[in-house]
Chains A and B, each alone.
Chain A
């Protein structure tokens, strides 16, 4: 019997972007029939393939025996789209799988990656008139944080790292961003003065534990608070704004660095680390970064989510952010290419390195597979180069430290982790977690102290976001 040519794709527009077959969504194809009995291998299912996403004419082409199949797409959001198909001998057949449309078209990436599901569910329940939905949260008193946290630096490139007095703060870009006091870490907007305030009791500088010691020297600060003071602060208005979301597009062409955005939300402020730009390494297009603030009342602590419209990395970051490593593993080849192309895009190289390290095939390594060991050798070298060539990117140091740990180079790993700590807060939240795990691997008091500080920071982090996002201000209680 001749095989049938099947053209398959997931027909969704991602704000005008599309994903190619090797960037797309995880798909399983099950042969239907005899599924309660054993069968020959010729009717085996096709699992964990990827198919394109988009409304163009780009399809994944497969050749299958005629018969009945169930096609199942598992989106990064967790949504599962299934369709029965029947293949008969003859011309190629095109199948276009569809999911529910996004409530707002400009948020289609967010819907695709799962950022919107929670809110939609609440909305649908409210529409159905369901009662007893807990929507309000009371705010506790300010949390404890290490008392030696301090902002000691103006976050623009001409500044230097040093302690500053309260008077000097007036001249600094950081005015009004953070109010710091003993036992508190909150922001306060003075209504009458129409400006941000800060407590006079700035915390004492401590070289090893200041927040800025943990941040890259090249961080810049922006505020996307809609009512932020303009003095010395670079800020921008939402691109799209309604009563539910504020949506910001961020697209810069400045030199490589990691940006830090302070975002005002009804719950308090969130601090978001983002790449300054994200170059698509296969082309000259500079994909956008979306930062979305959910303004509606939900039962969740964090309101900010960020998405990079990146066709090369495609949905891998979305799967990674949902904790779905096995699916991210499907992108190992792409991850390897991303790491190799670090000079074009060190941010995606770091993501690639993370995927590769987290999905190492230990069985192949232990079995001495020459092919896999060859790849692992390349990856180790490329990760080391990522660490060496981009000293402003903390993630490179963390990942190189882990690479060394996996090679059982304990002493060298130790010094790298110390350097990683000194470089600053990693761009990726998963890498921040790896930094903590790495520091925790060593029993020295110095490392325990560093681990304590990073742990304190991690307690404020949104682990569901790909890019490191902290919640500042009071914690919330149920």
Chain B
């Protein structure tokens, strides 16, 4: 397998078969930031070590390798760079492939990152119909719409604090000179201003490539950011970040739509955005500290992932009025034969969250203490994130 790759499948001559190439970077260990093992950079800005990005990047890579399906552009390569947990660079980091093979994963230094991204772009150039996917999770800083993605050695060079960072805006500009017409970028990083960016006006890091040719017309470059410009993005300890979790839920079905024929479930970029938005809102409603809004840029609609089965849908069942919920027993039945599929016997004031295959169901609320009238409703369950509200009235 070529360097940096954790997945490689030969689908025949590149010029005749369009394929998908992915580039995944997860940066959790920053030796020159707070808590790091090397000299602390004066530009640390309070940033420290992260546990979420390597987990997030691994989960995204696992999804690509195990679940991504595009019948016209099958997955050909996945490049992966990770820094996680180890106290020094070059400590072995392993990715286990779908066949059980243990593959060494390279460290996201600026040198490795440049080489890996250039090779990813070169593969994209092999066929204009290729699909390119880029994913980054780690620290980021930004001003306005410009974002700098911080690689593992950020802060290493005191004379140029951004030497180990990717100027994502410039990368975007140069990728519009890549022949692959469909490109999707997932940027799971903060985008707040900091002294480093403010003082380094007109420089946001390494552009990775400089290609002095005009942009190619018709390149679709869709970027999903985890947070608004100027805002923070949030991870979770040793778990996928909120954005990556929302993204994976959407990719696994909540972002699916059977747009062409009934039963042919596909993920499009625009539907993906809608599903991510809904899940991020739900996370905030469920008590996450703050609302994180995930904007998109250059959001053109195209389908890029085909589900091989009908999606399972996260359904939230509640009552109206809300206070009826704490007295309600809830059930979900088949509308054809009233057979109970799932039920919640215990009383709780929180909504009932269940997962159901897409379809039609009969939802019922009954009240053992007769405080409210029974309620039932047949609903069609489709992604994303339907909410079933059972209308009831107090009996007294």
Contact = CB atoms under 8 A, between A and B. Distances in A.
B218 A118 contact: no
Given A70-B382, A463-B229, A440 B173 contact: yes
Interface string B257-274: 111111110000110011
A68 interface: yes
B35 interface: no
17 contacts: A35-B262, A36-B359, A44-B261, A47-B257, A70-B382, A80-B274, A84-B380, A118-B293, A121-B291, A301-B230, A323-B296, A324-B299, A362-B217, A406-B217, A410-B214, A460-B144, A463-B145
Contact of A30 (B199, B293, B298, B382): B382
Contact of A456 (B199, B201, B293): B201
A452 interface: yes
Nearest to B358: A35
Interface in A124-171: 124-125, 130, 132-134, 143-144, 146
A364 B224 CA distance: 26
Contacts of A343: none
A431 to B, nearest CB: 13
Interface string A98-140: 0000000000000000000110011011000010111000000
Interface stretch (B53-61, B70-78, B113-121, B276-284): B276-284
Interface residues of B, number: 61
B380 A132 contact: no
A325 B298 contact: yes
B63 interface: no
A408 interface: yes
Given A74-B274, A324-B273, A464-B228, A478 B192 contact: yes
B380 A70 contact: yes
Given A78-B274, A441-B214, A458-B145, A299 B290 contact: yes
A419 interface: no
A37 B290 contact: no
Interface size of A as a range: 35 or more
Contacts of B386: 82
A444 to B, nearest CB: 11
A146 B202 CA distance: 10
Contact of A326 (B278, B281, B301): B301
A38 interface: yes
Please give me the 8 A-B residue pairs with the lowest Cβ-Cβ distance, nearest first: A362-B218, A459-B144, A326-B301, A39-B262, A459-B143, A36-B310, A326-B270, A70-B380
B300 A80 contact: no
Contact of A34 (B146, B199, B262, B284): B262
Nearest to A328: B299
Interface in B127-150: 143-146
Interface string A450-462: 0010011011110
Given A323-B299, A443-B212, A39 B263 contact: yes
